[in-house]
Amino acid sequence: MTTAAVVLAAGGGRRYGKPKALVEFEGSLLVERAVRTARAACDVVLVVLGAQAVDVWRTADLSGATVLANAEWETGMASSLRTGLDGLRGLPGTVDAALITLVDMPGMTPEALTAVAAHAGPGALAVATYEGIRGHPVLLGRDHWAGVIATATGDEGARRYLADRDVTEVDCTGLADPTDLDVPPPGVRSTS
């Protein structure tokens, strides 16, 4: 059973003045941190870039990850999700499930990713919960990719697709910090 991590890192980061992928947090770029965390939990890692993709690719250490560029990144997270799932179809071998994680969650851990990935399978749907609230990572079995791609719009990602399905909730409370950095917190370098 192969589970691939898909790191969504295409956003422009308007409030940061640059893409979140290029934001430095505790000594490394957010995208580097997300890729390292994903690699600790999954053998296959795909990262979807968008805003300033060439700059991110040249600047960040993305060792061990397959890099895709989302030309439609400005339309929202759904286009990055579609790009990532389409990209997994093109990888050698069969990927049974995609573990979706976000670049702007520096508190994500391999333990949380592994806990959700433990439910992997072609027909699986699972989501991390933190104190009963759904968050990331989200596990999408291969059998669901076409449906997710067909229904994902704007910044909703897979939310609409998951709303009408039986989804396994995996309690990750205490395994990771689910906070996403939508606005620059104190101490985060937000400009070059």
The domain that contains 85 carries what CATH number?
A: 3.90.550.10
Structural domain of residue 36, as residue ranges?
A: 3-171
pLDDT at 188 over 70: no
How much of the chain exceeds pLDDT 70, in percent? 94
CA distances from 54 to 22, 60, 70 (A): 11, 10, 11
Decide if 73 is inside a domain.
yes
Say how far apart CA 29 and CA 23 lie, in whole Å.
5
List, in order, residues 6 or more apart from 31 with CB less than 8 Å away. 7, 9, 20, 21, 22, 47, 49, 56, 60, 62, 103
The answer to whether the beta carbons of residues 18 and 52 sit under 8 Å apart is yes
pLDDT at 192 over 70: no
Decide if 147 is inside a domain.
yes
Average pLDDT of the residues of the chain: 92
Decide if 14 is inside a domain.
yes
Q: What is the pLDDT of residues 113-150, one digit of tens each?
A: 999 999 999 999 999 999 999 999 999 999 999 999 99
Give me the pLDDT at residue 155, please: 84
pLDDT at 184 over 80: no
Nearest to 29 by CA among 12, 9, 44, 45: 9
Give me the pLDDT at residue 91, please: 83
The token pair that represents 15 in the structure block? 């409030």
Give me the pLDDT at residue 154, please: 85
Q: What is the pLDDT of residues 61-75, one digit of tens each?
A: 999 999 999 999 999
φ, ψ of residue 56 to 5 degrees: the values are -65, -45
- Place 185 in a pLDDT band, splitting at 50, 70 and 90: low
Give me the pLDDT at residue 191, please: 41
Place of tokens 């992928």: 21
Say how far apart CA 125 and CA 34 lie, in whole Å.
22
Decide if 29 is inside a domain.
yes
pLDDT at 94 over 90: no
How many C-beta neighbours within 10 Å does residue 6 have?
31
Decide if 159 is inside a domain.
yes
Give me the pLDDT at residue 190, please: 47
Decide if 79 is inside a domain.
yes
Say how far apart CA 77 and CA 60 lie, in whole Å.
21
Domain count for the chain: 1
Q: What is the pLDDT of residues 140-176, one digit of tens each?
A: 999 999 999 999 988 888 999 999 899 999 999 999 9
